[in-house]
Chain A
Amino acid sequence: MDRHYDVIVAGGGNGGLVAAATTAKAGLKTLLVEKHNIPGGSASSFRRGRFEFEPSLHELCSVGTKEKPKEVYKIFDELGVNIDWRYEYNTFRAIVTGENGFDVKLRAGVENFCDDMEKAVPGCRESVKNFFDLAKKDAAALEYIYKMKGKPNPLTMVFKHADFMRTACHSVEDVEIALGMPEKARDILNTYWCYLGIPTDDLNAMHYISMVSSYVEDGAAMPYKRSHELSLGLEKAITDNGGEVWYNSEVSEFLYDNGRCVGVALTDGTKLYAKEVISNIIPHNVYSMSDNKNVPERELKLANARNFGITFVTIYLGLDCTKEELGIEDYTVFKSTYANPREQYNHRHDKPVGAYYVVNCLNEVIPDCSPEGTCMLFFTIPLYGNELPEDLTAENYKRYKNDVAKRYIEDYEKVMGIDISSHVEEIAVATPVTFARFLGTPDGEIYGYDNRNWDNVVMRANYEKTDFSVPGLTYCGGHASRGDGYSSAYITGEAAGKAVVRKLKGGN
């Protein structure tokens, strides 16, 4: 039986869920199809013994509070989804063990952050303050561009928003050097590069400035009941508004009529048709599930010009001791051997451990996220999917995972002077293979496409209509115009949903 909808959303990750909730709320007959048996993609949770682990979220930016809501808060609010947000008001602690090493902890709030930076690197305060001022200028410029519906007056841009233009076409390092920021201050401030997956000498300044300032201005937020709470909340927003959600329903083909995307087929042969299709599935997979004649040449060229974004090995530990017993006092710790982001990136594969990894302790933000007398640790190690060992097979995969986990746990024990190993009650290790399994993404990517500066988010937004020109098909998620991250995925989901509502119902 063929079925007809106003909107089909393919994939129920962060972007797809918000997109479907948005179109359903606007009264459009919406169906979301998801291959896994729960919503959220990366945004879920999993249980081992008496622990429930957060699979992916480090910290959500752009949330804000009821009194001072930011984009993400507003999206959930508008969809009627209540989230029990918990906040972290430290940005991070960065420990560099090698040459020119440092160990600094930075509080959130621009003034606090600047004070802490000044303490770590005397004389840097003004340059760091100027970095955050650029965020305000960028926001004003973007608001203007938005008001002008993407067609700003060039003279106004030059006279009023020249600094925006500067940050929008230079790397983070270029801008910071121009601000007169000392090298050590740059190294500390650029610790967050891995959240966007590209070292700061090739990362767009505007993109990075806006991300860092959203963490610093509002702190980071976490849902009390892991990301599963976010995703079930959004799912309810879809169904409460008359939308349908089908799990265990994997798209195997995108259907076209005269070059227009008109629906999808599922692996079991079910054909589903819609006036508009929103894809939370990465374009690469959409193309390989589409008859080649329906894929515009430029889209293929763009796909081939791009690399997949960085992905991770993650280690989830449930420990049978408290964080106090271990002496852990930080939510987020970045540990690196080198101070410089490019060095950190280049030495990702050094043995015994790569030059850079992150460790989170959720109990710091949510003390009762695990049973009394226990705590959870979450290691994140960046690598690209194609950097998995070449001789990796199904047979030696478990050994590989354990070998990696052991090396990183031991390194962290040494750095912090603590004993983790003897307290491991539960352990799970995810790799790009795991993400390939659960998300179905090529090489287990989780960040969409590489955020290299030539393909930065400003360009992606400017060229969105050229980049994706198939009628009836709109993209949302980490591979879409805003790059990776929960907040970006939510925001593109809302944008895709609203764009489709405008197409089908008219209006602004």
Chain B
Amino acid sequence: MAKSHIKSLNFADFLKAGEKRENIIAKAPAKPVPPTSSYRANRIASALHPERQSLIVSKIDEIADGVKSIHLVGNVKKGTEKVAYFSAGQYLVLFLDINGAKITRPYSISSSPKQALDGEYVLTIKRVNGGLASNFILDTFEVGTEVEASAPEGEFTYEPLRDAKNVVALAGGSGITPFLSLAKAIENGDEDCSLTLIYGARTEKEILFKDTFDRIADTCNKVNVIYVLSDERNDKYENGFITADLISKYAPEGDYSVFICGPQAMYDFVDKELAKLNLRKKFIRHETFGEYRNPQKDADYPYGGISEVKITAIIRDEKYEITASTNDTILNSLEKNGIAVPSRCRSGVCGWCHSKLVDGTVYIPKSVDGRRLADYDYGYIHPCCSFPLSDVTLIASVSK
């Protein structure tokens, strides 16, 4: 049995430890510490995730009727010398001031990550009837227009340790943009997967970037594109909708990951079709839906018969009071009244808009409720997908 010799240790060293420490400190230089931004981890962090990017429109391409590609470069005068690198599938948030309304909108980056290294992003924006931002951008942006943007955000990216090597992408309408970026990234060797793109459009004329996709598909054996027209019979293409049969027809052998991006109606249809294929959940990925519309149509909407409410927003030590429609998200109502609050995805998932509801009730559609568990206990909500049911008071943060 080992014997305890604790007493063999000198206790008097304890009395000298302070002196020893003082000596070490005394020998160190009294020079100023390096700025935090100079450490490698911090440098890479701010290169990838700048707080804001000041951009300037360098070129505008008319892609189709009501669709433009806006080229953006760093606004050096405002401090953005290099635009942040990103992964294909990420989006930028644009900060817009439209006649006093302070709004944000997310747009997937349609250009390749490589182009960002050369200093450029491209956003491809489609006009939405009655839409605030899309019309403003398409009608007023010109070469030289300055715009503030977020860092690249979002999780709609190919992840080699998670996704199957073969990606089947289902795109509809302006939902094609992230896949244009992905196709280019594969072509450039920046992503290592193969892509089978099934692209639904109403008519041949509405297919965006057809030449580019055809060229990539011709030259890069990892990219394959199938066009599906819903409103036009044309023997060159598949016709109808993106059905389970169609997916099976073009999907590669073995496991594949399905990536879906498009309008809400397409998600509704495609999700039902995918259910027939019995894919594991991990093999199905949706880009976020964007703004939730018409909450009243939901079966669990607790209709209270009021259409107008008062929203009180406390931001730091300022208090704002506005009237709002119960049909609008709290985020939308605040923005329309010129009150800037944080947001990114506007779809309930990113958590940027995290705010505390201190009074009143809201409706949060289950399908877009991306809160953390503890948020429920402490009254936290995501105003981007919360609809007021009564007068409400919330504590929000300043916009960032």
Query: Which positions in A face B, CB cutoff 8 Å?
Result: 3, 37-38, 45-48, 50, 52, 123-124, 126-127, 130, 134, 158, 162-163, 165-166, 168-170, 174-175, 178-182, 225-226, 228-229, 232-233, 235-236, 244, 246-249, 268, 284-285, 287-288, 292, 295, 297-298, 300-305, 320, 385-386, 388, 390, 392-395, 397-398, 402, 405-406, 409, 421, 423-427, 431-437, 440-444, 454-456, 458-459, 462-463
Residue of B nearest to A205 (CB): B9
Task: Give Cα A435–Cα B45 distance, bound, in whole angstroms.
Answer: 9
Task: Give Cα A226–Cα B39 distance, bound, in whole angstroms.
Answer: 30
Residues of B1-57 contacting chain A, CB below 8 A: 1-18, 20-21, 24-36, 39-42, 44-49
Beta-carbon contact of A45 and B372 below 8 Å: yes
Task: Give Cα A406–Cα B44 distance, bound, in whole angstroms.
Answer: 22
Q: Which one, B11, B18, B25, B397, contacts A166 given CB within 8 A?
A: B11
Beta-carbon contact of A305 and B11 below 8 Å: no
Q: Which 3 A-B pairs have the closest CB atoms?
A: A180-B2, A305-B28, A425-B282
How would you classify the secondary structure of chain A's contact residues: helix, strand, loop or mixed? helix
Task: Give Cα A394–Cα B372 distance, bound, in whole angstroms.
Answer: 29
Q: Which one, B9, B41, B378, contacts A170 given CB within 8 A?
A: B9
Beta-carbon contact of B281 and A459 below 8 Å: no
Q: Which one, A225, A232, A301, A421, contacts B161 given CB within 8 A?
A: A421
Beta-carbon contact of A436 and B45 below 8 Å: yes
Beta-carbon contact of B39 and A182 below 8 Å: no
Question: A285 and B40 in contact (CB under 8 A), knowing A169-B14, A320-B281, A427-B161?
Answer: no
Beta-carbon contact of B25 and A168 below 8 Å: no
Beta-carbon contact of A124 and B2 below 8 Å: yes
Beta-carbon contact of B25 and A305 below 8 Å: yes
Question: A178 and B155 in contact (CB under 8 A), knowing A248-B399, A301-B28?
Answer: no
Beta-carbon contact of B351 and A38 below 8 Å: yes
Task: Give Cα A305–Cα B46 distance, bound, in whole angstroms.
Answer: 27
Query: Which positions in B face A, CB cutoff 8 Å?
Result: 1-18, 20-21, 24-36, 39-42, 44-49, 84-85, 87, 113, 117, 155, 159-162, 280-282, 316-317, 342, 349, 351-352, 354, 370, 372-375, 377-378, 380, 397-400
* A–B pairs, 23, beta carbons within 8 Å: A38-B354, A45-B374, A162-B7, A166-B10, A168-B14, A178-B4, A180-B2, A246-B316, A247-B354, A248-B342, A288-B33, A300-B31, A301-B28, A305-B24, A320-B282, A424-B161, A425-B162, A425-B280, A433-B44, A436-B41, A442-B36, A459-B21, A462-B18
Beta-carbon contact of A392 and B44 below 8 Å: yes
Beta-carbon contact of A225 and B374 below 8 Å: yes
Beta-carbon contact of A385 and B24 below 8 Å: no
Beta-carbon contact of B378 and A232 below 8 Å: yes
Q: Which residues of B contact A249 (CB under 8 A)?
A: 316, 397-398
Q: Which one, A394, A397, A440, A454, contacts B21 given CB within 8 A?
A: A454
